[in-house]
Amino acid sequence: MTYAISTVALVLIFAGLVCLRFRRLGCHAACMVTAFVLDVGLVLYIELSRGAVDRVAHSISPLLWFHVAISTAALLLYVVQGYLGYRLYRGLAVSTMSHRWVGITFLVLRLGNYVTSFMVVAPRG
């Protein structure tokens, strides 16, 4: 189930990029906000149902630590992108190139998160 939700969030991110190609900013924003809500909800679900933070804290798996690091960075960049996107949408002073480069960095991290999520096995309590 968690993989399905993560896949939907990733599809929404790519749908948001497609919307941009056709200059549909409302569609872009809706896709990205929905993907963010799904991803944050997924992180909360995993933590509340599996105690993921506690398990990672006791893990020695470098792959698991890498997965957590890029996942955390991707979530932080969601916030940065939301801020930059909001300012762009409102016509406030912000560079479109900064939004683009943070977005590319975010996309690389989010794809890394997706791939490594299939590779890690959280240690059992």
Determine, yes or no, domain membership for 42.
yes
Determine, yes or no, domain membership for 76.
yes
* CA separation, residue 68 to residues 6, 28, 30, 58, 86 (Å): 15, 27, 26, 13, 27
Determine, yes or no, domain membership for 88.
yes
The predicted model scores a pTM of 0.81
The whole-number pLDDT of residue 56 equals 64
The per-residue pLDDT of the chain, averaged, comes to 85
- List the domain range (segments joined by +) for residue 26: 2-119
Q: Is the pLDDT assigned to residue 11 strictly greater than 90?
A: yes
